[in-house]
Amino acid sequence: MPDPGIDAQTALHDPNLLLQAEGVTKTFPGVKALSGMRFDLRKGEVLALVGENGAGKSTLMKLLTGIYPLEEGRFWLEGEPLAVKNPKEAQERGLAIIHQEFNLMPDLTVAQNIFIGREPLTGGFFTRPRALEAQAKELIDRLGLPLDPSAKVATLTVAKQQMVEIAKALSYNARVLIMDEPTAALNDAEVEVLHDLIRRFVTPQTGVVYISHRMPELKRIADRVTVIRDGEYIDTMDMANATLDQVISRMVGRAIDTSARPENVRTDRPVLMRVENLSTKDVLRDVSFDLYEGEILGFAGLMGAGRTEVARAIVGADPRTSGTITLRGKVVNPRNAAEAARFGIGYLSEDRKRYGLMLGHAVSHNIAISSLADKFSRFGFVDDRAIAKAATQQRTNLRIKTPSVAQLVTNLSGGNQQKVVIARWLVKNSDVLIFDEPTRGIDVGAKDEIYHLLNRLASEGKSIIMISSELPEVLRLSHRIVVMSEGRLTGVLSAGEATQESIMALATHPDDDLPPASAADDADHATQEDLR
Amino acid sequence: MTLPATTPTTGVQVAKDPSARSTLLRRSLQQMLAFAGLIAIFIVFSIASPVVFPSYTNVIQILFSAVVIGLLALGSTLVIITGGIDLSVGTGMALCAVMAATFIVTWHLPVLLGVVLAILFGGLVGMVNGISVALLKLPPFIATLAMMMVASGLALVVSNKHPIYFDAGAYTDISTGTLIPGSNFPNAILVYAVAAVVAAVLLGRTLLGRYDLAIGSNLEATALSGVNVHKWTIIIYAVAGLFTGLAGVAISARLGSAQPATGQGYELYAIAAVVIGGTSLSGGKGSILGTVIGSLIIAVINNGLQIVSVPQEWQNVILGVVILLAVFADQFRKRT
């Protein structure tokens, strides 16, 4: 790796650069989130930063704004070293960051929100509402925003709330504007307004870092695009010359281990569960698919595509606005997770600690909870011996590493906690298992074990929906792959035709202006076929 | 370097797991701590007043005085384990006492029927609390605060603001009579003992108890595990209400009258008993035995301080300090 000291010298000598990163590395226990990451933002440009889920974009932003301490690597702002300790200091240095989640107080006015903590005061104590409003109005007019300074934030649309965030960020005289997925919640007209605002902000002295998954949008707003993959810098391209497929192939272009492929893929299985026209109020739009007996159906898509929402809507954890769920030809439409469990549908959440486990309780209790009423009790009295027996059986069956089933779940590793949740649904004898990110927070060795377990469950006749943000995982296990984007199902790929590129193309092209999925990269496709 | 570890590392041999044992130990420690506290307090008072305090008559008196708060605390334990709270048990108890008097004195129903109806009425009050919490999604604090006021008002309305007196006999015997011939062991203590056993079985051996603990530990995970958490929350609040109803019977039988303007403040003593007994206000864990010990600690302190002639106002100060110490000891133990 180059000596950062030398880079510091070169940085000082390029007056065209606004913001630079070099050799930025961040390690979390067990994971390298960023490794030798770099990028440079020129004055007067919009730089798009793209990468898959978990590529390290957010970590980079958090390092830049001091939310995480910078341990390895360097940032420069106009040739000056930049190492801020907290977001406030970042703001004072001229970095404005707009997060996906807004940081506004809904019951305060626009003006109060923009100048929170910096209100004009009389005698250091009494507020001056009129001065505050005038100050806010001046800023809003200067930025050309359609905002009323005295309006309560809660009454504004999402797009206008975002404008408040932007006004607040720019009120610090920012030179660099960093936006994390700014258009995720906006409609097309609102996106245009936002892009106008960005174009007005960009002067020969300022620049914008624009993080987004939405490929078509980048063409319109970005000058250059930097691709991150697995925490590493991959490439930077001029947007004018780059095709979207090129960008995608850089995003996913890792070499994947093709030796492990889906097992027992067959096309002659009967349909077990049919989902038709599933919609929810906010996210899902007419999602329909079939789940076959004994198959692993992968669900791929970017963050926010609506995959978790599909699972929650199927089991009735979130209300459906439309949709029919048919199990073995019979309409079931579970109204809540209790009904879904009775029909034999089990949901294993991505967030095990929050939605899966009773951490302070015994392994056996966590395994038995779903089956207490129908398997482990008589006249309301719980049969602890039967619970211990069934739990011990599952401990052997799934090889849960715990000295005893009386152990508290909180003392188990992530992989073993996941097995406890799996055991719960096996004891319940569920036919449909919906795994949401089954290997999240699980270390590499244990991941393999979970993969084997999923294959085994499918071969034993369980039907599995596996939602995963890790493409290699999806490709390794799925018999078929459903791809989602922005609440819609954008394609179903067979194990044979699925590649990282074909999946990512479906996941990032919400509009229909894209090449057919299987044509994404024939060469690569062929190689994978040959390898099998 | 230290010596290489001699512990065997194969899966089979670590079957006798040290951490599982330590959690078991820790769990019983929680109760042992409260129990040790009870014994310690008892010894201190026995030294301060060697003749009167530890006498048979006084011990019976202590147990007798623990009954009402003890019964309320049993129900409160179940509710607090869900992560909730029930502020309505005090005035709810007064309302149930008035209802018992209405059934038995005003309507001339048989005593047994009146008692059963009064207890069921308590269950109804609890059920309304449960519906507010589970279906209307009100915070338990607010839902039961409102019920506390409603119950206090209804008790006055139903009784027309006057105490209702029972005839001495079958009804008052529930508290002050004795089933053990020739002794002066009051039935109230037996009623409390039976109720405590029932509560312990409910919590330890039944679906209700398991779901109670699960809901308090992680409501969302329990719901996604396929448990109908709304239904069970309502049931748990309703069962807690049954104990409130029983407390209403016990207190009115002891006084020989239903006093509509009483009850306020009892809910806080009940919560104090639960907390001293080691049940976590954040839910998910707790024990009936702990609550019984907690109720006894409160009764012993009140009784002992009276006997050694500490003025009433200081008794509350000391009780408050005991609550602080109990909760602090519990958290300190958890942190280390």
Place of tokens 């009051």: B186
Report how many Cβ contacts below 8 Å link chain A to chain B.
99
Beta strands in A281-364, from DSSP E residues, in sequence order: 287-292, 296-301, 322-327, 330-331, 345-348
With CA atoms as reference, the chain A residue closest to B220 would be A355
pLDDT at B243: 98
Choose the mutation target among A335, A349, A353, A358 for the interface with B, i.e. most B CBs under 10 Å: A358
Which residues on chain B are in Cβ contact (under 8 Å) with A402? 17
Encode pLDDT of A320-379 as tens digits: 999 999 999 999 999 999 999 999 999 999 888 889 999 999 999 999 999 999 999 999
Tell me the chain B residues in contact with residue A346 when contact means C-beta distances shorter than 8 Å.
226
* The predicted structure's pLDDT at residue A514: 41
Residue A376: how many other CB atoms lie within 10 Å: 26
* Residue A531: predicted pLDDT: 37
Do A246 and A201 fall within a single domain?
yes
List CB contacts (< 8 A) between A370 and chain B. 225-227
pLDDT at residue B102 above 90? yes
Supply the DSSP symbol for A525. H
**Strand-pair partners of A299:** A467, A482
CA distances from A180 to A59, A404, B49 (A): 11, 46, 72
Q: Which of A271, A261, A287 is CA-nearest to residue A494?
A: A261
Same domain, A141 and A282: no
Average pLDDT over residues B269-287: 91
Contacting residues of B for A357, CB less than 8 Å apart: 218, 221
Across chain B, what does the average pLDDT equal? 89
Final residue belonging to a domain, choices A145, A173, A201: A173
- Residue A382: its pLDDT value, please? 94
A318 within domain boundaries: yes
CA-based angle A245:A247:A248, to the nearest 5? 65
**Is A22 within the bounds of a domain?**
yes
Residues A127 and A184 grouped into a single domain: no
A516 within some domain: yes
Q: How far is it, in rounded angstroms, from Cα A6 to Cα A17? A: 16
CATH number at residue A56: 3.40.50.300
Which pair of tokens denotes residue A151? 């309006």
Q: Which helix (H) or strand (E) holds A238?
A: strand A232-238
Phi/psi region, residue A144 (left: phi>0; alpha: psi -120 to 50; beta: rest), is: left
- Residue range B182-238, pLDDT digits in tens: 788 999 999 999 999 999 999 999 999 999 999 999 999 999 999 999 999 999 999
> Same domain for A503 and A443?
yes
Please check whether residues A188 and A333 belong to one and the same domain.
Answer: no
Q: Which residues on chain A are in Cβ contact (under 8 Å) with B205?
A: 381-382
The number of helix segments (H) and strand segments (E) in chain B equals 13, 2
Q: Are residues A152 and A178 in the same domain?
A: no
Is A224 in the same domain as A114?
no
Same domain, A226 and A294: no
A452 closest CA partner among A468, A427, A476, A416: A476
A interface with B, Cβ–Cβ < 8 A, is 315, 317, 336-338, 340-342, 346-347, 349, 354-361, 365, 368-370, 372-373, 377, 380-382, 401-404, 406-408, 411, 424, 428
CA distances from residue B282 to A490, B83, B213, B267 in whole angstroms, order as listed: 44, 5, 11, 18
A169 and A179 fall within a common domain: no
Instruction: Report how many domains make up chain A.
Output: 3
Q: Which two tokens stand for residue A323?
A: 């949709």
Give the pLDDT confidence of A140-179 residue by residue, as tens digits: 998 888 899 999 999 988 888 989 998 988 888 889 999 9
Angle between helix B288-307 and B56-81 (nearest 10): 140
The mean pLDDT of A254-264, rounded to a whole number, is 71
Q: Judge: B218–A359 Cβ closer than 8 Å, yes or no.
A: yes
For A382, which of B11, B207, B218 is closest by C-beta distance?
Answer: B207
User: Cβ atoms within 10 A of the Cβ of A459, count?
Assistant: 12
In chain B, which residues touch A (CB < 8 A)?
11, 14-17, 19-20, 23-24, 205-211, 213-214, 217-218, 220-228, 284-285
Q: Contact B156/B260 with Cβ under 8 angstroms? A: yes
Q: Which of A346, A356, A407 sits opposite B17 (nearest CB)?
A: A407
Continuous H helices in A21-149 = 57-64, 87-92, 110-114, 129-143
Q: What percentage of residues in chain A have a pLDDT greater than 90?
A: 50
Interchain pair A377, B221: CB under 8 A: no
CA distances from A300 to A254, A286, B321 (A): 17, 17, 58
Q: How many angstroms separate the CA of residue B207 from the nearest CA in chain A?
A: 5
Question: Would you call A428 and B226 a contact, using CB atoms and an 8 Å cutoff?
Answer: yes
Hey, what are B87's tokens? 């502020």
The H or E element containing residue A381 is: strand A381-382
Give me the mean pLDDT over the A508-516 stretch.
Answer: 53
The boundaries of the domain holding residue A140 are 101-173
- Among A373, A401, A428, the residue with its CB nearest the CB of B207 is A373
Distance of alpha carbon B279 from alpha carbon B281, whole angstroms: 6
Residue B81 confidence (pLDDT) above 70:
yes
A382–B213 CB contact, under 8 Å: no
- Using alpha carbons, select from B255, B247, B299 the residue that is nearest to residue B126: B247
- Angle of helix B229-255 relative to helix B187-205, nearest 10 degrees, comes to 170
Give the residue among B148, B29, B78, B141 at the shortest CA–CA distance from B291. B78
- Among A253, A285, A313, the domain boundary falls at A253
List the structure tokens of A268: 């002659």
Q: Is the pLDDT of residue A387 over 70?
A: yes
Hey, what are B103's tokens? 């059934």
For residue B157, the SS3 value is helix
Interface test with A, best of B17, B207, B224 (most A CBs within 10 A): B224
CB atoms within 10 A of CB A379: 6
If asked whether residues A483 and A334 sit together in one domain, one would say yes
| Whether A42 and A85 share a structural domain | yes
Helix (H) or strand (E) holding A42: strand A31-42
- Indicate if the alpha-carbon torsion angle A414, A420, A422, A424 is positive or negative: negative
**What contacts A516, CB < 8 A, 6 or more positions away?**
none
User: Which of A150, A173, A196 is a domain's end point?
Assistant: A173
Closest to A120 (Cα-Cα) out of A109, A108, A136, A98 = A136
Residues of chain A contacting B83 with CB distance shorter than 8 Å: none
Say yes or no for a CB contact (<8 Å) between B226 and A377.
no
CATH of segment(s) B51-335: 1.10.3470
DSSP state of A152: B
Distance CA B174, CA A377 (A): 34
Q: How confident is the model at residue A30 (pLDDT cuts 50, 70, 90)?
A: low
pLDDT at A122 over 60: yes
**Which of A38, A90, A40, A95 is closest to A68 using CA atoms?**
A90
Q: Which residues pair with A480 in a beta bridge?
A: A297, A494
Mean pLDDT of the A225-242 span: 89
Same domain, A203 and A338: no
| Bridge partners, A464 (sequence order) | A296, A433
